[in-house]
Amino acid sequence: MNRVFLHLVLLGSIAVLSTPIRATAQPATPIAKTQVARQYTEAGLAAQKSGDYDTAITFYQKAYQLVPHPTLIFDIAQAHRLAGRVEQALGLYRRYLSDEPGGPHAQEARDRIAEIETARAEEARKLQDARRTEQERKAAEARRAEDERRAAEARRAEETRRAEETRRAEETRRAEEARRAAEAGAAPGATPPRDASAEAPGRPLRIAGIAAGAGGAAGLLIGAGFGLHARSLSNELSMPGAMYDSAKVRAGERANTIAIVGLTGGAAMIAGGAALYWFGFTQGRSTEKLTVAPVVSGDGVGIALSGAWP
């Protein structure tokens, strides 16, 4: 309310001051212009003091049109700075120093210029720091993703290598058995080779049990490894001050799922392998053949045993 009242009073006083000059229809003398310019300047200072910076700028500009004095440029710059328009104020401070480098407000103008430029430099530095921080965050995420990719490739390569070694060992074993069978068949007076299953009843079941147990152990190792990885990611996300990372969340969920599947499947394979090995072992010790057959029905899958039990 006080600002509006002051604004109306200042406008009314300026209108009264300017009315005689327009009514005479005579050219204004330099003294008259100076007096009116002084009235505009005083009105601008009063408006600036009350916080009405735009009105103050209007009065300063009217005064400058009558008497273009460099001090009015400084006053306009001050009003713009107080209004928060630092870029406009900076240009006007420089203009004042260009027009009156040794003027009474020259030092203050220089101080204001330095203050504005320092603030701008600080703002630019903060912006640069924010950009650098964001770039470092993205680079760290990229490195983590690359490390995870390489670890996955290494695991797949190791699994492939082990499978290839198993395949070669099996081929070597089969080739050796074939060579021995051929040598036994070609020897003079040699008797035909006996059936291996007849010599060692239950041997296929024991081999199958060992293979299933080895596969189950590998599944447990893989599940445990992914479980540790999931827990590590969870601990990172749970640390105080840690930012939410959707990539880590997805990686943790994927690792947790693989861990559950690996542990559950590994345990089931070990249990099944143990059962097969035991059946093969007992079949080998039985005087009569023990038959193991799979049973599939609409209610589930199981194993049927027939024959003698030791």
Q: Which residue has the higher pLDDT, 69 or 30?
A: 69
Residue 199, pLDDT > 60, answer no
What pLDDT digit, counting tens, does each position of 148-193 carry?
A: 999 999 999 999 999 999 999 999 999 999 999 998 876 555 555 5
Short-list 112, 4, 17, CA closest to 55 = 4
Burial (CB < 10 A; 0-12, 13-18, 19+), residue 172, is exposed
**What per-residue confidence (pLDDT) applies to 121?**
93
Cα–Cα dist 157/163, whole Å: 10
What pLDDT digit, counting tens, does each position of 8-22 carry?
A: 344 444 444 444 434
Q: Coil, helix or strand for 52?
A: coil
Residue 242, pLDDT > 70, answer no
What pLDDT digit, counting tens, does each position of 112-142 carry?
A: 999 999 998 998 999 999 999 999 999 999 9
User: Is there a contact between 299 and 267 (Cβ–Cβ < 8 Å)?
Assistant: no
Burial (CB < 10 A; 0-12, 13-18, 19+), residue 178, is exposed
pLDDT band at 210 (very low <50, low <70, confident <90, very high): confident
- The predicted model scores a pTM of 0.40
- Please provide residue 28's backbone torsions phi and psi, each rounded to the nearest 5 degrees: -70, 135
Kindly state the average pLDDT of the residues 29-33: 80
pLDDT band at 287 (very low <50, low <70, confident <90, very high): very low
Kindly state the average pLDDT of the residues 88-98: 95
Cα–Cα dist 235/227, whole Å: 12
Least confident of 18-27, 64-73, 232-241, 242-251: 18-27
User: Is there a contact between 37 and 67 (Cβ–Cβ < 8 Å)?
Assistant: yes
Q: Which residues of 87-120 are buried (b: 16+ CB within 10 A; e: fewer)?
A: ebbbebbebbbeebeebebbeebeebbeebeeee
Kindly state the average pLDDT of the residues 25-47: 83
Cα–Cα dist 74/72, whole Å: 5
Kindly provide the residue ranges of all beta strands, DSSP E only, lying in the chain, ordered along the sequence.
290-297, 300-307
CATH of 2-121, one of 1.20.272.10, 1.25.40.10, 1.10.10.10, 1.10.1050.10: 1.25.40.10
Question: DSSP state, 110?
Answer: H
Cα–Cα dist 37/59, whole Å: 9
User: Is there a contact between 282 and 202 (Cβ–Cβ < 8 Å)?
Assistant: yes
Q: Which residue has the higher pLDDT, 253 or 137?
A: 137
Q: Coil, helix or strand for 67?
A: coil
Instruction: Show me where the domains of the chain are located.
Output: 2-121, 204-310
What does pLDDT average to over the chain?
80
Residue 298, pLDDT > 80, answer no
pLDDT band at 295 (very low <50, low <70, confident <90, very high): low
Question: DSSP state, 84?
Answer: T
The alpha helices in 85-202, defined as continuous H runs, are 86-99, 106-186, 196-199
> Count of CB atoms within 10 A of residue 64's CB?
20
**What per-residue confidence (pLDDT) applies to 28?**
52
Mention every residue, 6+ apart, whose C-beta is less than 8 A from residue 145. Answer: 247
**What per-residue confidence (pLDDT) applies to 3?**
41
What pLDDT digit, counting tens, does each position of 53-71 carry?
A: 999 999 999 999 999 999 9
- Please provide residue 100's backbone torsions phi and psi, each rounded to the nearest 5 degrees: -145, 75
Least confident of 79-83, 117-121, 181-185, 230-234: 230-234
Residue 238, pLDDT > 50, answer yes
Q: What angle do CA 91, 55, 42 make, to 5 degrees?
A: 90
% of the chain beyond a pLDDT of 70? 74
